[in-house]
Structure 1
Amino acid sequence: MKLTSLPASLAELKLRSCLISKQGQLIFEYYKDTNTPVQIAKINSCTKSILSALVCIAMDQGAVPPPETAISKYFPELVVKAKYDGIQTDEQSAAGKISDARKLDITIDHLLTMSAGFDWTEFGGQNSFPKMTRTPDWIDFVLNQSLSDLPGARMEYNSGVSHLLSAILVQATGLSVAEFADKHLFGPLGIESYKWETDPQGFHTGGFGLWLRPADMLKFGQLYLQQGIWENQQIISSELIARSVKPALSAEAPRRGFYGWHWWVDSLSSIDYFYARGFGGQFIHIIPSLETVVVQTHDNRKEKEQPDIFREYILPLFIE
């Protein structure tokens, strides 16, 4: 490996940080400046993979039921609306002014794989993540979106369904998401410095809004590399770790690879890896066959202009 060639490339690419560990040892460390190691920063949608871990922990504990469980267990308004639909006219139904009884088929697994079927455009339009954040009740906004697909049929990137998972976790455990994380994930990993944003009802944001230090992102990646074990303690069962990062559905275009339980899955030159991804260049890559974890953070707000640094600059150094 020629990691000595990396610093110049990373500085040119304006990365905020890059950390690489192999077999549990830090072998490369780059920071934009001396303050970066100690500063928490937005990890954006990498938050989704943290939330996935918390859901898995709650499943291991029996607090969250099996993934095949319908979400109407936690959102009974779906049942009420489905019954209400039965007395609506065909004209109203065609106009899309009422909820869809097919929403009763949406399961926890569908939320985790982003295949709930909601008509969602994420970054623009009336049924999007920005629109959701401008409403007084985010959960109600998501549940009231129409369906464009049958639940389970197709992956459609949707921070709204991540927020539903956050609400489910609260109902299932009786703790806020941050409290549950402190007790069962952050505490064991020694993660003390963080910030987690909330919605108007006080639910911690499921799809974004977590702030962490780069070194703590690396710890989280290492936990998954070690099959859920940290300092001889099984934080997450190996069975749910495996299911979380197993390809479930093809990623929707133009993204590549596959999607698991709020984890992306891909490969390069027969090297399989999975990763958490946040807008603007925030990544946690785990490469099991190489016993390697790679963390990247970036201040970039124009994601489309950014190259795939991991695939173009970092991973090739391990497979040359």
Structure 2
Amino acid sequence: MSDSLPTSAPADQGVDSRGIAAFLDAVEEAPGIEPHSLVVLRHGHRVAAGWWSPYRSDRPHMLYSLSKSFTSTALGLALDEGLLRLDDRVVDFFPEYRELAAAGTGAIRVRHLASMSSGHTRDTWQEVFEADPADPVRGFLRLPPDREPGTVFAYNQPATYTLGVILQRLTGTTLTGYLRPRLFDPLGIGTATWQQHGSGHDLGFIGLFTTTEAIATLGELYLRGGIWQGHRILSEDWVAEATRPQVRTDDAHPDWSEGYGFQFWMSRHGYRGDGAFGQFCLVLPEQDAAVAYTGATVEMQAVLDAAWRHLLPAFGRRGTAADDAALAERLGRLALPPLPAGSPRSGSWSLTPATPGATPLTAVAVRDEQIVLCEHDTELRLSLAPGRWSIADEPVPVAVSGGWTDRTHLTVDALFLEAPHRLSVTADVTAGTFDARWVEAPLVPPSLRLLRA
């Protein structure tokens, strides 16, 4: 864990530990929510931090669309350096595509990319990528906006991707390379890697892997108006613009209907960066607090509801030393329960899919107390240890639990430790077949090797 933030007892910062404990109860007990990590900051101090084993503090975590808030920060830095302006036309950064750009595209400005208001009324990534897989920017510029840019919100991945490519053209490096000396190093963020398109560009809209501590420090930077430990990193004007509503949003979920800034969502309380399956950076100016959370769920509103119900009242309500001690002890033993398993069996079996083409795995082998999960040329060799998680770091960090449920059937779960994904595998060794399914399927192309930094 980085030492860039001081640690304090919750009570010393006016935080009631019982509220944090109640939040832990809520996310642990809710069906369909799998928590991975939590860091809570108040008054610039880390008052709570915990990881549900086998997840741990030093491992990076796939952020999905929380990556966008880091892309936004790169934009803010580039604006501060005078490399571009929010009202610059997007097509002017791609003169080679100006002649083929669709009608209406010339009205799209940098601010429209950053605020998801390019004029398109849907997420166009699939059609853009299918139309021009070699260069999604070219495909995006060929797609005419449905409305006047700036008038309608649509969560449109090519907008952020194009913004990222503009920044990489202007800076002559990747987003990661640009942010390293300007953001990551000053904030003490060590691990930060970004998945790339085949063209060599960091994806921008997804693909960033970093630690929960890094998420928390980003929240703290914005909470302080762009100042980090006395040093200005971002301009105060950029922080204010990025974190206020730039465009109206309409959504059935209350925390997605408060408006959108520059790659930040407005919330019922404060504002946030967020990513699929529950990756959150919550910034709460009224409470002088920031919360970083990672997990695995499609019930993202339920996680926010739990935060508003339990964490908000805890800020400004002083707890006791006894409550702080109880919380610290609990945070130190957070764990995801392993699958139960019966008695070990000796033997060797090679298994094929029960339904070919319906599983992310191509083959499974069981050899005594080892299971091998195969995806084409990728093999995950994992030991089965009844009653606990068994961990392997290569070729993909993964933990497995489970085992024999009777003499012929085997059930295991594989947790991908740098991603919010769990793979459940059941096998019938008598039939020589297996089934494998994602609890929540990855949004990235289905390759196990993409589930690591």
TM over 0.5: yes
Matched residue, 2:294: 297
Q: Deviations over 1:113-139 (max 9, x none)?
A: 11111243368xx537xx569923222
Change (3 A) 1:67 1:305: closer
| 2:105 aligned residue | 103
1:47 to 52, 67, 70: 67
**Structure 1 counterpart of 2:262, which letter?**
W
SS at match of 2:286: helix
Question: Please, which of 189, 209, 229 is the counterpart of residue 187 of structure 2?
Answer: 189
SS of equivalent to 2:168 = helix
- Aligned position for 2:282: 285
Counterpart in 1 of 2:127? 127
* Aligned-pair Cα RMSD in Å: 2.2
Larger Rg: 2
CA contact (8 A) 1:106 1:116 kept: yes
Higher relative contact order (CA 8 A, sep 6+): 1
CA offsets per residue over residues 201-225 of structure 1, 9 Å max, x none?
Answer: 0000110000011011101110111
**Alpha-carbon contact 2:97-2:138 (below 8 Å) kept:** no
C-alpha deviation, 1:250, in angstroms = 1.3
Change in CA separation of 1:139 and 1:244 when aligned onto 2, cut-off 3 Å? same
Of the three residues 23, 26, 29, the one matched with 1:6 is 23
Q: 1:281 to 1:133 in 2, by over 3 A?
A: farther
Instruction: Spell out the pairing of 1:1-320 with structure 2 (5 A cutoff).
Output: 1=16, 2=18, 3-12=20-29, 13-33=33-53, 35-63=55-83, 65-81=84-100, 99-100=102-103, 102-121=104-123, 127=127, 131=129, 135-254=133-252, 255-267=256-268, 272-300=269-297, 302-303=298-299, 306-308=302-304, 309-318=306-315
Task: Return the offset for 1:240.
Answer: 0.7
Aligned partners of 1:132 and 1:161: how far apart in 2? 16
Alignment gaps of 5+ in structure 1: 83-98
2:196 counterpart SS class: coil
TM-score (ref. length: structure 1)? 0.85
For the 8 Å contact 1:78–1:104, the answer to whether it is kept is: no
Tell me the alpha carbon deviations over residues 115-168 of structure 1, each in whole angstroms, 9 at most, x when there is no partner: 111243368xx537xx56992322222222231111111111011100001111
> 2:159 and 2:221 mapped to 1: Cα distance?
25
More divergent stretch after superposition (112-121 vs 201-210): 112-121
Q: Cα distance 1:105–1:218, how it changes in 2: closer, same or farther (>3 A)?
A: same
AA at the equivalent of 1:260? G
Q: Which has the higher helix share?
A: 1
2:59, 2:44 → 1: CA distance?
23
Cα 1:75/1:158, change in 2 over 3 Å = same
| Paired residues of 2:258 and 2:266 also in contact (CA < 8 A) | yes
Q: Residues 133 and 5 from structure 1, CA distance in 2 versus in 1: closer, same or farther, beyond 3 angstroms?
A: farther
- For residues 176 and 17 of structure 1, what CA distance do their matches in structure 2 show? 28
Distance in structure 2 (CA, Å) of the matches to 1:197 and 1:265: 26
SS at match of 1:276: strand
Q: CA deviation at 1:172?
A: 1.3
1:271-307 CA-partner distances (Å, limit 9, x unpaired): x40100100000000011111001110023x347855
CA–CA separation in structure 1 for the residues paired with 2:161 and 2:294: 23
Instruction: Please tell me whether the aligned partners of residues 66 and 273 of structure 2 are also in contact (alpha carbons under 8 angstroms).
Output: yes
Structure number having the greater strand percentage: 2
Deviation at 1:8, TM superposition (A): 2.5
Determine the C-alpha separation between the residues in 2 that align with 1:228 and 1:33: 33
Tell me if structure 2 keeps the 8 A contact 1:225–1:286.
Answer: yes
* Percent identity (aligned): 23
Q: CA deviation at 1:51?
A: 0.4
Q: Are 2:23 and 2:307, in contact at CA under 8 Å, matched by a contact in 1? A: no
**Structure 1: distance between partners of 2:224 and 2:89:** 31
For this pair of structures, how many residues does the alignment match?
293
